[in-house]
Structure formats: structure tokens, C-alpha cells
Amino acid sequence: MRVEYINPFVESAFNVMKEVLQGDIKRGELYLKATSMPVMGVAAIVGLAGDVEGRVLFDMEKVTALRIASAMNGEELKSLDDLAKATITELANMITAQAVTKLHELGFRFDLTPPAIFTGDNMEISNQNVEALIVPMETGHGKVEINVAIRERA
Amino acid sequence: MSTQTAEKNSLEQLSNGKKDKADKIDFKMVSFSLAGKEYGIDIMNVKEIAKAGNFTYVPNAAPFVRGVYNLRGDIISIIDLRTMFHLPAERKSDDALESLLILKIGEQAFGVIVDNIDKVIGVSKEGIQPPHPIFGDINIKYIKGIIENQNKLYIILNVEKLFAPKEEEKPGRTDLVKEASVKMPKIGLGGPADDALERSMDVNADFIKETLFSFRNFAVSKVNINWFNRRYNEWKAQRKPTDLQLRELAEADAFLEPFYSPFTGALWSAEYMSALGGIMPAIATKSINVWNPGCGKGYESYSLAVLLKKMYPEARAKIWANDSDLLAISMAPNMVFGAEGISQDHLDFMIKNRNGFVFNQAIRDSIYFEFHDVINNNPIPPADLILCRDTLSFLSAGNQTKLLTDFNEKSRQGCILILGKNEVMPLDNWRRIEGPSLSLYVKAD
């Protein structure tokens, strides 16, 4: 993944989460992962198109998703219902959109697809031929892993 | 500029965590086996390793003292660790060679017989756990601790205690050993000791290989074995026979120093560029795809971009430069240079801004710097040129093979491959082109 893409994603993830969750956010060490990976329980995915092709995946446990959704809505949510799912989707959208805006300012043209959310147990996501950059974020509500896989159009 | 600095800082912070981890190798041990179990001894206590036999029997010594031995003029006692620890030992014929660890404790040197000497392992001191009775056989007092490394448990022996001059628990043991080493007259140099030394050279070379890999991740393979053998003989000529091993990082670096290609971590000189341009076969296509794995800070990517622009001004070059070192590669896209030491070839493609010289947009647009690990999938379009200097050698042997296969798959016919000056291409469908300080290949079919 091109070096120029890394910082916008890291920064916007940090800024957005700090703003909406009002808590202490810690960023873990970045690393690369080969294609396929298990998903923790809830995964919001945003596709990217344009100069590049790829996707951004927000991966977290169900408990974390519920807590984040509760914090963002200002009320205690008991189950991962439509409201909770919509909230997580919105978080993914906010972070990706801000990153893409930053990249646009640097001269890279990206388009977003509407986010989608997957929930379930023992899920695995794989896409061939592209490695993913993992940005681990430690929030007061649990761990969120942001998984960015972007490939240049050859 | 401020965003650039912020970017730099945040990336520096990111990679600091990584660095901490790498720094943690603070304990090195030589591993060996006794009766099928793995043991380790602090490398600081190990003077050398050897293979020897024909020990001179010392009457009335403890059963674990196999005798004495003339190690290049020094008479040392030979102790069989297996007998000492009451482990089953295969009794070889008298002239068979045994694996010896020569230990140095205080002023005394000892030879210790073990079943097999394995390799040097670097571990973190923090990972050493105190001994537990369950690990058996040896008296707990003599165990420094247990460490796990690559799913194996190693028992680290406390050799200072084991061979301490004042041994209270087992009086007489070291006295006997001492007497044995004093009473034997010196026989002088030559004889079986030197033969054994000769034979132990291969083991020494193996040890250096292991150490290079654990210190610098340098893996000896078909790619660089010629260089290694040359360098090993040089090294042997420079150093005392007892001082061959690489004990610390600085020594490993000294060993590797002549390996690196010219202009590592710097822009190429005019001479190097014309030498390379002179022997490089012509590239016919108008759009040149270049793959540059392990580009480090990106100097060589820029130099190559300049060279291609000069040789083929009409063609459109695209350089896919990648490295798995986040800190190094993250500086690459925005590199700023001072004017001195840059050849005119480069200056022609640079513009001056208030911080110094930077490459012009055309050059910068031709290079894609990527944070990427070549061990993972390589989504690279078929390449016309592969620049991979001193990168293969720093992958494990298995990954070297994988990357070489990728070179084959991701290259067009007639693709040019540039390796480090001391590296060779082991696959035989690549034809070598000779040149000074260069290792250049062209893909046949």
C-alpha cells in the first residue's frame, strides 16, 4: 500500500473516534497482514474505487460494538439492533470519508461505496492478492481494528 | 511543511514500538542436546566449539572426567556432561570424535562433551523463567532457568556454579579436574589437536551463519554462498583461530561490511550510473514497469528513475518501490537533499525549494513507494526491470525461494534483474551479464 495513504487513515480514525467517543483513544503499532483474516464478530466495510481499488474494514467484538453504539447514541442499547448497526456503519463512514477527503487534498482521487455491516460468529474475510494494513485502536469501550487494503490500478 | 513534520513524528512514534521489540534480544546462548533434551549455555561462557577425540585418560579421576586434551598447546580437562548428569551416553570408540563446547570460567578452560551442538539462539532475558523441579535430571542448583524459543524449551545451565572453583556440594570434583589439567605436561603444538581444529572449521562456519541470521537476519543460501565462503576465509586469515565467532552485533556488522553494494543508502554516483547504463540491455517498450523490492529509504529508486529518464526520455517508467520498514519508507516520498555530493545527472531532475533540493514532479510521479512485505502476495504488473540489491540475502531461505519464484512469474521475457554485487541468481533461466561491482541478469525464456 502506498505510503501516502497510511497517515490520512490513521489520523482520521484517531480524530473521529476521539470526537465521538469522548474518551482516551490509544493507537497500537501498525503492521501488515497477508490476505485472509478472521473477523472478531462485527465488521463494517467500506469499498474504495477510483485511482485505486480496495476496501476499509472496521473489525470489533460484539460487546465493543454495542458499547460504542450506546456511547454514540447517549443511551444504553441492549442488543445489536438496527439502530446499533446503523451507528457502527455511520462511524465507519465518518472515518473513511474524512480520510478520503484528506487524500483528495493531496491529489488522490477516491470514491466511496456505501458502507455495509456484517455480524456473526466465526467469520473470515479474504481477498486475494492484496495485503492489509492493520491499524489497531484501543478505545475505552474495547478494541477496534481498522484493516485497510488498497491496491493501485496497474 | 508543518504537516510533513507532523507526519514524520507520528510515523516515528509508530515504529518505536517495533524497535523496542527488536532490542529485547539481550541474552545469547549456545544450544545443545543431551539425551534428546535441549539445553543452553550463556554464550559469554563459551570460548569456542570443537570436535575432538582421543582424550588422555586420567587415572583415579571422577567418572565424568573423560580425560585431558591438548587444545593447541593448552591442556584442558574434558568433562562428559551426560555422565555428570547421569544421562545415558552413547559410548563411542576411543578415536571417535565428540562434540565439544570449550567453556571459559574465570581463568579455567574446560571441554564439555555433549550429544549435539545446535546453534546460537538470541532471547530476551525477561523470558527466562526460574527452574522448576519438573525439568528433572539435573540438580536444580545448576539451572539458571528455562526459556522458550520457537516452541522448544531450553534448560539454561549455570556453568559458573557447575564448575565453580569452590564447590561445596560435591567436594573434590573440581580439584580433580584442576589437578588433571596441571599434572599433564605440555606436548606442544601440532598433532591430533590441529586435525580436530581443521574438522571443526565447518562447524565454525555453520555457527557464523547462525549468528548472522540471528543478529542481522542474513541468511546464507545459493544466492550468496560464494561470497560467504570467500569472506569466511578472509575472516579466518584476519582473526585468531580461537576468535572466529561473532559475539556481538558489531562483529556481525564487521563481517557483513564488504557485502553491501555500493551506494547503499545514498544516491548513485555518475560513474556507477554510467557503468550500469553501459551494460544494461536496451528496453524496447514505451512503458517500463520496474519492481524495486527492499528499496529502504528510496535512494536507489530515485537514482534508477533518473537513469531510466536519461536513457529513455520518451518512455513512461513506473517504479513499484516497496519496503517493510515503515519508518524508512515513509520518508521516501518527500525526501529533501542538500546540494553537495549530488551528481549532475540527478541535479538535472531536481528543483530547489526552501528546504533544499527535491526531485521534480515527473520523477516523483514515476515512483510508487509502498509499505509492503514481499513475503505476502506481490500484486505487481509484469516487470521489465527488477532492482533488488541486498534484499534477498536478508530473507529466510524459504522466503528467498518464494521471492525468486515471484521474480520468474512477475517478469516479462528479457526482463533485467539487478541484484546486490555479491549476490547471484540461482535460477538458470536467467543469463548473467558481467560488469564491475554489478550483478546483472537477463531473463531468457
Contacts of A6 in chain B (CB under 8 A): 11, 326, 330, 371
ipTM, interface predicted TM-score of the complex: 0.84
Of all residues in chain B, the one with the smallest CA distance to A26 is: B14
- Give Rg (Cα) of chain B: 28
Contacts of B330 in chain A (CB under 8 A): 3, 6
Contacts of A32 in chain B (CB under 8 A): 324, 371-373, 376
Would residue B249 count as lying in a domain? Answer: no
The domain in which residue B278 lies consists of: 270-443
Contact A151 B379 (CB under 8 A): yes
Of all residues in chain A, the one with the smallest CA distance to B3 is: A7
Of all residues in chain A, the one with the smallest CA distance to B16 is: A29
Examine the domain organization and report whether B282 and B423 are in the same domain. yes
Helix (H) or strand (E) holding B353: strand B350-353
Give residue B317's Cα distance to chain centre. 35
Would residue B212 count as lying in a domain? Answer: no
Domain boundary (B143, B161, B188) is at: B188
For residues B90 and B181, is the Cβ–Cβ distance under 8 A? no
Contacts of B288 in chain A (CB under 8 A): none
Examine the domain organization and report whether B47 and B161 are in the same domain. yes
Of all residues in chain B, the one with the smallest CA distance to A102 is: B3
For residues B364 and B351, is the Cβ–Cβ distance under 8 A? no
Q: In this structure, how many other beta carbons lie within 10 angstroms of the beta carbon of residue B137?
A: 12
Report the pLDDT averaged over residues A35-44.
81
Tell me the CATH number at B155: 2.40.50.180
Contact A154 B332 (CB under 8 A): no
Domain residue ranges of chain A, discontinuous segments joined by +: 3-152
The sign of the dihedral angle between the CA atoms of A16, A17, A23, A27 is negative
SS (H, E, C) B111-146: EEEECEEEEEEEECHHHCECCCHHHCCCCHHHEEEE
Helix (H) or strand (E) holding B318: strand B316-323
The CATH code belonging to domain A3-152 is: 3.40.1550.10
Number of residues assigned to chain B: 445
- For residue B178, what pLDDT is reported? 42
Contact B377 A32 (CB under 8 A): no
How far A151 CA lies from chain B's nearest CA (Å)? Answer: 8
Tell me the CATH number at B338: 3.40.50.150
Q: In this structure, how many other beta carbons lie within 10 angstroms of the beta carbon of residue B68?
A: 22
**Distances from the Cα of B38 to the Cα of B60, B120, B140, B306, angstroms:** 31, 12, 16, 54
Contacts of A27 in chain B (CB under 8 A): 14
- For residue B384, what pLDDT is reported? 92
Mutation site, B287, B364, B371, interface A, largest A CB count within 10 A = B371
Would residue B124 count as lying in a domain? Answer: yes
- For residue B182, what pLDDT is reported? 40
Domain boundary (B188, B222, B247) is at: B188
Nearest to A30 among B14, B333, B380 (CB): B14
Cell digits of residue B252: 556481525
Query: What's the structural domain count of chain B?
Result: 2
- For residue B94, what pLDDT is reported? 67
Would residue B5 count as lying in a domain? Answer: no
Of all residues in chain A, the one with the smallest CA distance to B20 is: A29
- For residue B388, what pLDDT is reported? 92
- For residue A116, what pLDDT is reported? 92
The per-residue pLDDT for range B59-97, each reduced to its tens digit, is: 878 888 888 988 888 888 898 888 887 788 777 776 788
Examine the domain organization and report whether B167 and B275 are in the same domain. no
Would residue B84 count as lying in a domain? Answer: yes
SS (H, E, C) chain A: CEHHHHHHHHHHHHHHHHHHHCCCCEECCCEEECCCEECCCEEEEEEEEECEEEEEEEEECHHHHHHHHHHHHCCCCCCCCHHHHHHHHHHHHHHHHHHHHHHHHCCCCEEECCCEEEECCCCEECCCCCCEEEEEEEECCEEEEEEEEEEECC
- For residue A96, what pLDDT is reported? 92
- For residue A128, what pLDDT is reported? 65
**pLDDT higher than threshold 90 for residue A65:** yes
- Give Rg (Cα) of chain A: 15
Would residue B262 count as lying in a domain? Answer: no
Contacts of B380 in chain A (CB under 8 A): 154
Domain boundary (B167, B188, B209) is at: B188
Contacts of A133 in chain B (CB under 8 A): 371
Examine the domain organization and report whether B181 and B294 are in the same domain. no
Alpha carbon distance, N-terminus to C-terminus of chain B: 49
How far, in Å, CA of B218 to CA of B326, rounded? Answer: 20
Of all residues in chain B, the one with the smallest CA distance to A127 is: B377
Mind listing the pLDDT tens digit of every residue in chain B (445 residues)? 444 544 455 554 544 444 444 457 788 889 998 888 889 998 888 888 888 888 888 887 888 888 898 888 888 889 888 888 778 877 777 678 888 899 888 788 889 999 888 888 888 888 888 876 665 555 677 788 888 888 888 888 888 877 775 444 343 444 444 444 443 433 334 444 444 544 455 677 888 888 888 888 899 888 888 899 888 888 888 887 777 788 888 888 888 988 888 888 888 888 888 888 888 888 888 889 999 999 888 999 999 999 999 999 888 899 999 998 888 888 888 888 887 778 888 888 998 888 888 899 889 889 999 998 888 888 888 899 999 999 999 999 889 999 999 998 889 888 999 998 889 899 888 988 877 778 889 988 6
Would residue B363 count as lying in a domain? Answer: yes
Angle subtended by helix axes A82-105 and A3-21, to nearest 10: 140
Would residue B156 count as lying in a domain? Answer: yes
- For residue B151, what pLDDT is reported? 83
The per-residue pLDDT for range B109-155, each reduced to its tens digit, is: 889 999 888 888 888 888 888 876 665 555 677 788 888 888 888 88
How far, in Å, CA of B337 to CA of B326, rounded? Answer: 20
Mutation site, A1, A2, A3, interface B, largest B CB count within 10 A = A3
- For residue A58, what pLDDT is reported? 92
Phi, psi of B297 (to 5 degrees): -80, -10
- For residue B180, what pLDDT is reported? 40
Examine the domain organization and report whether B301 and B179 are in the same domain. no
Contact B370 A2 (CB under 8 A): yes
Mutation site, B7, B322, B361, interface A, largest A CB count within 10 A = B7
